[in-house]
Amino acid sequence: MKSSDLSAAPKKVIVGMSGGVDSSVSAYLLLEQGYCVEGLFMKNWEEDDTDEYCAASQDLADAQAVCAKLGIPLHTINFAAEYWDRVFEYFLQEYRAGRTPNPDIM
């Protein structure tokens, strides 16, 4: 196989899909640019489905709908245990110590 054959193949990109506008538009724009796009939904929290907040089940349904519309596969992975152990416990520890950590940038 020639190196030019490798560069001609579309590059694969995995997009973290939340079901929201930012990830949806990102996936669309990457498709428009010729990338081979796949979606990835990461569940980071275990919760009861109530109307009080945006539940993961609704986020997943939104991500599935977007990926279906775009014609791209969606992979799902449950990181709830890892998130609790590596992010939330640290957040609580720092908060108790009087600091205000940002769990989104850990």
Hey, where are the domains in the chain?
3-80
- Tell me yes or no: is domain 3-80 CATH 1.10.10.10: no
Confidence (pTM): 0.74
pLDDT tens, 55-68? 788 899 999 999 99
Q: Which residue has the tokens 């997943």?
A: 60
The half-sphere exposure of 60 on its side-chain side, counting CA atoms within 13 A, is: 13
pLDDT tens, 2-28? 655 666 788 999 999 999 999 999 999
- Helix pair 56-70, 21-32: axis angle to 10 deg: 20
> How confident is the model at residue 48, as a pLDDT?
62
> How confident is the model at residue 80, as a pLDDT?
87
Whether 17 and 27 have beta carbons less than 8 Å apart is answered as: yes
